[in-house]
Structure 1
């Protein structure tokens, strides 16, 4: 099973040059769930003598991600992986650490180092990308089943179990991340499907040129112009994996 991974960046541009460390943290135990919170502000001021209000939109807060990480050094994770682990942990009464190095302490250090620790060279904690999905094994972050870009805003550690020497054997970390992306990246994301930009797309199985043109321009009638730009002899049979360019709409109309 692919593990949740966190990459650390210098800023919220999340550009390759801003990357501090890839896979700065890899979860030993995947979270069993996470939640996303969205919030909008509406002006609900109501005139005197009225019985209702005409709410007017003001702004939306950045989405926030709430997620729990389990750090465990009891040994049960090795024989009870996956979703059955939590039930096993609840029933476990007495355990002892058999490793010289305390795995929980290392996991916490790695996690906080990747998400919330002050970095002297940039004078702040890093920005992070949390990635989770089957494609993570190949390192293709853009194809992750789930991806969240933001900053750590809140972290609570609950120490649940200790060995005879007082070393922590189980800790639950409750973390909140707030989405944070640069204005430049936001503009790029918002304009991803703009017909006024040049787009590069990879042909997928089942794609046709009219279908791909419809996605970009909102109209399939430009497929002949796109075929000409890409020097396609036959636009009816596209080979999966081929990269095609879709120029700005005003240049093809």
Structure 2
């Protein structure tokens, strides 16, 4: 076992237009150092002529932006070895001291082209759904449904044949949480929150979501509204908020 314990890798899933996972997910080789979330609240700043001191009027909470960087490396320096602390440090030091990106041996055949192409596919137009895939990013407590709005790839290092062996991809995503649920998460005392349910023994979030909406596909958004970090193990007696969706307002 690694001295760092069991390492959980970030996984990126591709979703179809119904929110179902498609194809093989992308499991990153090297986890990002961190990620950045940006939230914007929009106000109407317009004022009538000859008026002053009017307070801005709240308009809406915009979908959040989510940015993270992924490092792709085929040099071998970042491999985690199953050794004790002293052996691990010595191994890393030896790798760094002996590494030559221009060596002409079997190692020089390795590159990050395939990994980069998998990331590029996330911004490729898909004819069956008439847009790029919606994404689900899962890592630890993070479970985000989003659209990739920008992809920057910075190639850092190349082998003797001109193939990249190190690159950094910066992904900028837009939260795709349903507007009704996102706005409800701003104020849980909103009169729009007409559904409040108490968790009972044996309840699961998908099941409770199905009971409210007639469809379990909204359970991730409901988890986000209620700030549930571990929605797979609901504590009996917990109160959960289920904001109304357009499809349920006529029910």
Query: Is TM-score (shorter-chain normalized) higher than 0.5?
Result: yes
Kept in 2, the 8 Å contact 1:4–1:130? The answer is yes
- Looking at structure 2, the residues matched to 185 and 90 of structure 1 have their Cα atoms a distance apart, in angstroms, of 49
Per the alignment, residue 10 of structure 2 pairs with: 4
Partner of 1:120: 127
Gaps of 5+ in 1: 134-144, 205-239, 247-253
- SS of residue in 2 equivalent to 1:45: coil
Find 2:159's aligned residue among 153, 158, 163: 163
Query: How far apart are 1:196 and its partner, in Å?
Result: 3.8
Match of 1:129 in 2: 136
Once the two structures are superposed, residues 120-154 of structure 1 have per-residue CA deviations (whole angstroms, 9 ceiling, x without a partner) of 32222111110001xxxxxxxxxxx1111111000
TM-superposition CA deviations, 1:181-227 (whole Å, max 9, x none): 3568769989x9966466654579xxxxxxxxxxxxxxxxxxxxxxx
> Counterparts of 2:69 and 2:14 in 1: how far apart (Å)?
19
Give the C-alpha shift of residue 46 in structure 1: 4.3
What is the rounded CA distance, in whole Å, between the counterparts of 1:185 and 1:53 in structure 2? 29
Query: Equivalent of 1:151, from 129, 136, 147?
Result: 147
Q: CA RMSD in A?
A: 4.3
SS in structure 1 opposite 2:129? coil
SS of aligned partner of 1:2: coil
Asked whether the 8 Å contact 2:111–2:164 carries over to 1, the reply is: no
**Within-5 A mapping of 1:11-22:** 11=17, 13-14=18-19, 18-21=20-23
Partner of 1:109: 117
TM-score (norm 1): 0.60
Q: Which residue of structure 1 aligns with residue 30 of structure 2?
A: 29
- Partner residue in 2 for 1:72: 73
Q: Is the CA contact 1:29–1:70 (under 8 Å) kept in the aligned structure 2?
A: yes
- Stretches of structure 2 that go unaligned for 5 or more consecutive residues are 1-6, 83-88, 204-232, 240-251
Distance 2:144 2:62 in 1: 15
In 2, Cα distance between equivalents of 1:40 and 1:91 = 50
